[in-house]
Amino acid sequence: MAHSNATPAPKPPPADDLIIEEVADDTPFDIEPEKRRVKTEKQDLPVETLVSWVNRGKLNLQPDFQRNFVWNSGKASRLVESLLLAIPIPVIYVAEEANRTYSVVDGQQRLTSICAFINGAFPNGQKFKLSGLQVLKDLNRKAFTDLPVELQEEMLNFILRLIVIEKDSDPDVKFEVFERLNLGAEKLNDQEVRNCVYRGNYNELLRSLAQNEFLLRILQSKEPHSRMADRQLVLRFFAMWRNTPQHYKGPAKRFLNTEMERHRQLSEAAQTEMRQVFEKSIEMAYAVFQEKAFRRYYLGNAYNPNGTWEKSRLNVALWDTILYTFSQYELPQILPIKDHIREAFLDLLTHDKKFVEYISTSTDRSDRIQYRAQTWGARLARLIDLPTGEPRTYARDFKQRLLDQHPTCHVCWKPIEELDDAVIAHVTDYWREPKQIPENARLDHRFCHRVRQKPSS
């Protein structure tokens, strides 16, 4: 049989291979002239002071947004050798926190190496002895305590320059600074920067919800995304839920920044409400669409009438649209009509060219966000308002039985390869009516069904 049950399910992509299909929003921030400069302070401090700060918890080498320590002992040893040779070290950037502590923004690997040598061990507990030195070869295999006292003093007194980004800098300007400071390292993405700039329990809520079982199933992953792509999706949902599409104001980067800035410290009641609304909404999405949730469906054509689903690419426009509309309802309203909803969504992607365009290009424009929410929201509302006295539609398993019995389109007489590409056809679209008429049921490709419905010219 040439349908979906005949082929094995594709292997889920690794979590970090998740592609977020989103058009870059390069709209500049509109920042008042007097706020356009970030507030910074220069400090020249001896290594001994910085090591003391780290050991006392005043300087955080491993904030949430930073990578783990990745340098090997050879690279760390060469940095120590540079200090002993009085070679200047690049400037280190730190962010001032509300409690007068500091977090490293750029220079984490360097500072960790210096502290590890003086403290005697790397973060993983491995003892740190110098290795691979090409100039001070006689120091190879020596720990800090093995060095002559004068060399210890030279290293402890070595001056490092810090640029402190002050805590009361304008958030938008501070965000831009953080974006640009990964010197020689992999650039932080927007959510990793937010995780650094907007500290508070909102971050903890996003981290927790990224582990939601239904979200992980939709992302086809066993663990949260290492680059926080999932947390940004959850943040987008909350920003849209709180403000509504009608009050969206771009650019999207600022929209999300503002959401976290204003609500970085959430009350317990707010956290509970937000957790509940996200968990019910994502459960609805999975119940209706399973692993196809927030993916594009592409209609077939005359050459190949079989439609296809996007596999690893998640469409952010659909995420915003579907999850926001689901948040307006409760599970008992959605679960009994999940097959209806799936069919209505596929019909929308089949017939509404404007909707398809608006999930494909310039997706973060306010008019497009509003159109998507209004159009899909109206369809969903009509389905929920249908009479409840009788079964509303053929269940999905009924369509599967038809496909098993006769997996051929009644228009083009070619095999139907995907269950979602099969339309149960009779006088009216079956999913619009409250009654079932099994005797009239037959299967068409969505493309063929659409062509057959068009009036002849």
pLDDT at 52: 96
Kindly state the tokens that stand for 141.
Answer: 């295999």
Tell me whether residue 354 is in a domain.
no
Q: How far apart are CA 60 and CA 104, in angstroms?
A: 6
Among residues 158, 161, 160, 145, the alpha carbon closest in space to that of 84 is found at 158
pLDDT at 10: 42
pLDDT at 426: 58
The mean pLDDT value of the chain amounts to 82
Tell me whether residue 356 is in a domain.
no
If one compares 88 and 218, the residue with the highest pLDDT of the two is 218
pLDDT at 1: 38
- Looking at the predicted structure, is the pLDDT value of residue 133 above 60? yes
**CA 374 vs CA 160, 234, 355: distances in Å:** 56, 21, 11
DSSP label of 144: G
Kindly state the tokens that stand for 61.
Answer: 């080498």
Tell me whether residue 147 is in a domain.
yes
Among residues 386, 358, 384, 385, the alpha carbon closest in space to that of 245 is found at 358
pLDDT at 38: 64
DSSP label of 160: E
Helix axes 201-209, 268-289, angle to 10 degrees: 20
pLDDT tens for 321-330 read 999 999 999 9
- Looking at the predicted structure, is the pLDDT value of residue 209 above 70? yes
How many domains are there within the chain?
1
* Mean pLDDT computed over 230-248: 96
On whether the CB atoms of residues 376 and 345 are closer than 8 A, the answer is yes
Classified as helix, coil or strand, 29 is: coil
Is the dihedral angle over the CA atoms 210, 211, 215, 217 positive or is it negative?
positive
Residue that is written with structure tokens 């915003």 in the block: 320
Question: Which has the minimum average pLDDT: 27-36, 64-73, 105-114, 256-265?
Answer: 27-36
* Mean pLDDT computed over 418-441: 59
- Looking at the predicted structure, is the pLDDT value of residue 92 above 80? yes
Burial 89-117 (b: 16+ CB within 10 A, else e): beebbbbbeeeeebbbbbbbbbbbbbbbb
On whether the CB atoms of residues 433 and 386 are closer than 8 A, the answer is no
Tell me whether residue 212 is in a domain.
no
Question: Which has the minimum average pLDDT: 54-63, 136-145, 190-199, 250-259?
Answer: 190-199
pLDDT at 184: 42
pLDDT tens for 385-417 read 876 544 445 567 777 777 677 788 777 777 877
On whether the CB atoms of residues 96 and 165 are closer than 8 A, the answer is yes
Tell me whether residue 385 is in a domain.
no
If one compares 40 and 434, the residue with the highest pLDDT of the two is 40
% pLDDT > 90, the chain: 47
pLDDT at 68: 67
Q: Among 127-131, 172-176, 416-420, which range has the highest average pLDDT?
A: 127-131
Is the dihedral angle over the CA atoms 65, 70, 75, 76 positive or is it negative?
positive
Residue 149 is part of which domain span?
39-168
Strands (E), 256-307: 297-298
What contacts 400, CB < 8 A, 6 or more positions away? 419
Q: How far apart are CA 238 and CA 99, in angstroms?
A: 27
Q: How far apart are CA 149 and CA 283, in angstroms?
A: 63
Q: What value does the CA radius of gyration of the chain take, rounded to a whole number of Å?
A: 29
% pLDDT > 70, the chain: 77
Task: Give 23: exposed, middle or buried? Use CB within 10 Å, 0-12, 13-18, 19+.
Answer: middle
Tell me whether residue 349 is in a domain.
no
Among residues 332, 329, 334, 320, the alpha carbon closest in space to that of 286 is found at 334
Q: How far apart are CA 382 and CA 377, in angstroms?
A: 9
